[in-house]
Structure 1
């Protein structure tokens, strides 16, 4: 089968022929119809991710058809259209991932291939209203956004929610989840075009985080926020406590702009703000997320679709942060 292989530090994106996976008990073989990129894939290819091993087939997100079932798996699963939960062995606690937690696509071979093997327990029916490309876009970013917004951020109808850097895959899902929940959504982006696109998804307003007074602009627009979801950190994070309402929740799951800066801790404890980290999600959260997709007929935002052989070009687009929504690989 054809696959995108992380072959070495010097040659991290190789389109090549590899052996089809061999099933163990409890596993299934999925013929992948489409797979989606995540920022994680980019960091792996540039060597800035923990636990890198060579060779590994990349890719966490995927949707396809069950081609073969292993011992102990219901034979009726064969031929089913499915999407894959890439969050494996989350652990005994719902509060944090356990020591055995892993994400599909490293250390185990992932979805950037014509076939991928996974445990049957991580398969779910493909939402019927979605194309292969749309379904493949959901799992990792959708789950990350769901946990950050609802489990950690405690977002509810009527809350004013701020999404920092809303043009990413997680950013667009955060908007869609929050709008579906009845929240008032505001966004930031470095592009006026992307801000306009967030409004098409249901955001009320957005500001450019490159503006020196972006926090003042948001304060004037919204008056304060109940929930702030940030995946960038960096110097701009210092302004977030100032635009939060008392009792607000701030959630972070990334650090693309740097580390935590110095910020006014007195403002933080006086307002009794809560700061939470978040990472992927549990099986129950994945199922709850899919229920939202089905109930509200949500269609993920697709930025661009590339053939599997052009994965290097697709990852280069992600490196430039040029996308709005998810970048997808079509696998014939």
Structure 2
């Protein structure tokens, strides 16, 4: 690119019109100027961007710190096409964006009280639902050469969350029996891929028999339907059949909360770890003296550090696994399809937008 672009299409958060019930903020496609690059910045031509549940929560007004006018999107991948430093080594390199700010390397939690995730927020208005983004050069990571932009855009936020939950907090190792709940979601599937690459025996749960079958086809040992009252007993039977010498879980990686500990305590080994990265079922977890006496642990796990993401990406590149993409939306102007898919929760893997460049779509049209 001889001359960098001076404007970009971007999808932004627009306040829900007065009287709309239930509240649902708009997503507006508009044209915006690209400001001159500042020292240390690069310009990334995005090839793809990834949806996350937080994008829908923002539209529903359920996410803290929403900034109207900020761009949607936490995950994005593309190519560096310009830089403040004309000799920048990142020029023409394929990269993805670090999806958060405020957590560099601390092993326990963010260093900054202003830790934030990209997309739709006040602290960092940057978002990835755009043709181009200007970003600090130290906030991009080289894309592994076995991934295209669409699969790279399915990695950052979900991969980081899955890595910290399964490797840093659950400490999954070769031969461990691991239960991953809610299989089919992007984080759960990435956690499964990470655990399988570590040599663990992965069991899954879902309310969908089809999603369980798909997970087994990808390497899971077996799965149970959590809508069945007897699912803990079913899982106990599977563990005894597949691991008769050690028929216990070493870890549970959970996105639901609620009564998960009371359900798995019997089959979780003494000292075993329940790692929770979401509470979609209930905003609390039952933890009794029974679990205390077994030295079982409940560990909260949200996102991860910049260092965690570098470590996770290196591991993915070494094992050459590919994030699972459920749907590819063609073009920013069709992004509403992605919001609808996430709202329905029927996807198996990530939903991404393939970003096309050129005069396509309607500017400033409500999606």
TM-score greater than 0.5 by the shorter chain: yes
- TM (norm. structure 1) is 0.95
User: CA shift at 1:25, angstroms?
Assistant: 2.2
Aligned partner of 1:255 among 249, 267, 279: 279
SS in 1 for 2:26: coil
Q: What stretches of structure 1 of length at least 5 have no aligned partner?
A: none
Large movers: runs of 4+ above 3 Å: 235-238
CA contact (8 A) 2:11 2:130 kept: yes
- Counterparts of 1:10-29 in structure 2, within 5 Å, are 10=17, 11-29=25-43
- Counterparts of 1:15-94 in structure 2, within 5 Å, are 15-70=29-84, 75-90=88-103, 93-94=106-107
- 1:283 counterpart = 2:306: yes
Residue in 2 that maps onto 1:152 = 169
SS in 2 for 1:259: strand
User: CA shift at 1:327, angstroms?
Assistant: 0.3
- Counterparts of 1:163-178 in structure 2, within 5 Å, are 163-178=180-195
SS in 2 for 1:110: coil
Q: Deviations over 1:35-85 (max 9, x none)?
A: 1111111111111111111111010111101122125x8523222111111
SS in 2 for 1:185: strand
- Counterparts of 1:233-244 in structure 2, within 5 Å, are 233-244=257-268
CA contact (8 A) 1:301 1:326 kept: yes
- 1:310 counterpart = 2:334: yes
User: Which has the greater radius of gyration?
Assistant: 2
Counterparts of 1:117 and 1:96, CA distance in 2 = 27
Counterparts of 1:23 and 1:197, CA distance in 2 = 45
User: CA shift at 1:224, angstroms?
Assistant: 2.3
Counterparts of 1:168 and 1:187, CA distance in 2 = 12
User: CA shift at 1:94, angstroms?
Assistant: 2.2
SS in 1 for 2:33: coil
Q: Which moved more, 1:29-38 or 1:124-133?
A: 124-133
Q: What stretches of structure 2 of length at least 5 have no aligned partner?
A: 1-7, 18-24, 240-246, 357-367
> Closer, same or farther in 2 for the Cα pair 1:243/1:160, shift >3 Å?
same
> Closer, same or farther in 2 for the Cα pair 1:184/1:106, shift >3 Å?
same
Residue in 2 that maps onto 1:271 = 294
User: CA shift at 1:262, angstroms?
Assistant: 3.7
Aligned partner of 2:114 among 97, 100, 104: 100
Q: Which moved more, 1:201-210 or 1:120-129?
A: 120-129
CA contact (8 A) 1:175 1:201 kept: no
RMSD: 1.6
Aligned partner of 1:114 among 131, 139, 143: 131
CA contact (8 A) 2:48 2:77 kept: yes
Residue in 2 that maps onto 1:206 = 223
SS in 2 for 1:31: strand
- 1:136 counterpart = 2:160: no
CA contact (8 A) 1:21 1:116 kept: no
Residue in 1 that maps onto 2:9 = 2
Residue in 1 that maps onto 2:269 = 245
Q: Deviations over 1:217-249 (max 9, x none)?
A: 111111321010111113445313233111101
Counterparts of 1:138 and 1:54, CA distance in 2 = 26
Q: Deviations over 1:126-176 (max 9, x none)?
A: 111111101111100001000010111111111111001011000110110
**Pairs aligned (count):** 330
Counterparts of 1:39 and 1:319, CA distance in 2 = 8
Residue in 1 that maps onto 2:348 = 324
> Closer, same or farther in 2 for the Cα pair 1:74/1:209, shift >3 Å?
farther
Counterparts of 2:106 and 2:159, CA distance in 1 = 21
